[in-house]
Structure 1
Amino acid sequence: MAVREQVNGVRVGVRYAVADHCGGLGGDWYLTTPLPGGDVMLAVGDVMGHGRSAAATMMRLRAAMTRLALAGDEPGAILAALNRMLCRRPQTTLATAVCGRFRPSDHTLTWSRAGHLPILRATAAGVSQLAQPSGMALGVDPAARYDTARVVVDAGDLLLMFTDGVVEQRDQAIDEGVRHLADDVRLALRASAPGERVRTALDLAPIGNPDDDACLLAAEPV
């Protein structure tokens, strides 16, 4: 499944795939939500496991994240609330997530992560990882804290958020998969026409592991 749209001055696109053996029920999620005042919430998350239980948990986390973002909560506070929600469940349920609030008025991305993979940023100089704020996976410790980072994202820069199914392979470390994704995006964008960078990144970046759900979100301020 692929979705492309423009949200509050940000060109966004998502490619989403459910693991081959899961009958269409996945635990990965994403948000590209317009917020009051003109900001945009960008997020991806991954509930551990597959099937109906993971999909149900995913839907609850996604709904809660949307509600908190619309209420004006910052990314670190949103992840802390989701963490407490999971920790209250009688059975152990783990999830990872990364979420950012992008403010088009000053091109600032404020973001936090919960045990999740880094955000990649593609600029004219290349593709690199954003510095990662600290934050453990959701569902481990109800008192966990989630730090916040801020970065200016210029018009034409491309942000990539993704779950491990995009970069995971049976025969390689996940860090190597992240490097391969960065290399693929770097090569793809060299020949990309203006206004086509989101589509090109989604079309040409590989989905790594057919046994896992995979979500790739690309966002470009315009």
Structure 2
Amino acid sequence: WHEAPRFPRGAPARLDLAARHLPSSIGAPLGGDWHDAMELPDGNALLSVGDLTGNGATGTSGTSRTAMLLGALRGMAVAGAPPGKLMGWLNDLIDTTVPHALGSAICCRYDPGTRLLTWARAGHPALLLFRDGTGHALPPPKGPLLGAASGAPYGQAEVRLRPSDLLLLHTDGLVPRQDRDAATDLLLSLAPRLTERRTAQECADIVVEEFGTALREDDACLLVARCR
């Protein structure tokens, strides 16, 4: 889940992808953060980022539990579950298998034929959309942290993308803790630089250039997707 995301050659997802994993500055990787992208059997794309915290959610055990959650997420998505349903099932999975742990996540399903992005959020930093030199946080659907409330409902939101639109998904460790309250504004301030770049890799490099050298107490993941 820290590897560079890619789709099979010839896949119809029509998304240019780039991702980065930024480790904690204070020791071994904590193991709870993930980014992921995959092509689904119907040709849609699944994009997700998330963060698992709490008792047993760090170190080796955290890595294995994060892998379990990611495997479950992929399997349910392949079976056709929409993002809101995915969040609900992940919430139940954490509630029953990882006691005293909490998680946050964003899960997106992208239809390349219609350019429709359907997404759900579980207590996670905002999904950012950059277009025509500006950026904004998409209005989030309702959804509590994973593991916080058994049986909690998770809403969905939709947005239709345009060619060259850029999506930025990240975990909360990306921006240093002292700037966390202003994280969204700091990332949106990069809009003029991001929207003039041609590839997702160049955009990811800009974000890492801005925040990658900061001392961080948490791991962080960044996933950038540009609509071709």
TM-score, with structure 2 as normaliser: 0.88
User: What is the RMSD computed on CA atoms of the aligned residues?
Assistant: 1.9
- Structure 1: which amino acid aligns with 2:177? R
Shift of 1:181: 1.3
Name the aligned partner's letter for residue 143 of structure 2.
Answer: G
**Paired position in structure 1 for 2:103:** 95
Output the CA distance in 2 between the equivalents of 1:82 and 1:171.
30
Select which of 10, 20, 27 maps to 2:15.
10
Aligned to 1:199: 201
Q: Residue 164 of structure 1 aligns to a residue in which SS?
A: coil
Name the structure 2 match of 1:141: 149
Query: Which of these residues, 73, 87, 106, is aligned with residue 81 of structure 2?
Result: 73
Is residue 205 of structure 2 the alignment partner of residue 212 of structure 1? Answer: no
Q: For the structure 1 residues 88 and 4, does the alpha-carbon distance in structure 2 shift closer, same or farther, using more than 3 Å as the test?
A: closer
- Deviations 1:16-53 (CA, angstroms, capped at 9, x unpaired): 12223442452101121100121000000001153223
Q: Distance in 2 between matches of 1:74 and 1:129?
A: 21
Of 212-221 and 50-59, the range deviating more from structure 2: 50-59
Measured after TM superposition, the shift of residue 187 of structure 1 is 3.5
Structure 1 residue runs of 4 or more that deviate by more than 4 Å after TM superposition: none
Contact 1:18 1:26 (8 Å CA) reproduced? no
User: What's the offset of the Cα at 1:220?
Assistant: 1.1
Shift in Å at residue 90 of structure 1? 6.4
In 1, Cα distance between the equivalents of 2:105 and 2:20? 17
Amino acid in the other structure paired with 1:82: L
| 2:177 matched residue in structure 1 | 170
Assess, with a 3 A threshold, how the Cα gap between structure 1 residues 90 and 98 changes in structure 2: closer, same or farther. Answer: closer
Q: Summarize the Cα distance change of 1:220–1:191 in structure 2 as closer, same or farther, 3 Å threshold.
A: closer
Cα distance, 1:200–1:4 mapped onto 2, change above 3 Å:
farther
Structure 1 gaps of 5+ residues are: none
- Partner of 1:60 in structure 2? 68
CA distance in 2, matches of 1:131, 1:212: 26
Distance 2:3 2:99 in 1: 33
Structure 2: gaps spanning 5 or more residues: none
> Taking structure 1 as reference, are residues 90 and 179 closer, same or farther at Cα in structure 2, changes over 3 Å only?
closer
Count, aligned residues = 216
Distance 1:121 1:90 in 2: 33
Question: Normalized against structure 1, the TM-score is what?
Answer: 0.90
What is the aligned partner in structure 1 of residue 136 from structure 2? 128
Identity %: 31
- Output the CA distance in 2 between the equivalents of 1:2 and 1:124: 30
Pick aligned residue for 2:159 from 138, 151, 157 = 151
Aligned-partner Cα distance in 1 for 2:30–2:137: 30
What is the alpha-carbon distance in structure 1 between the residues aligned to residue 165 and residue 222 of structure 2?
Answer: 16
Once the two structures are overlaid, the 10-residue window that deviates more, 21-30 or 155-164, is 21-30
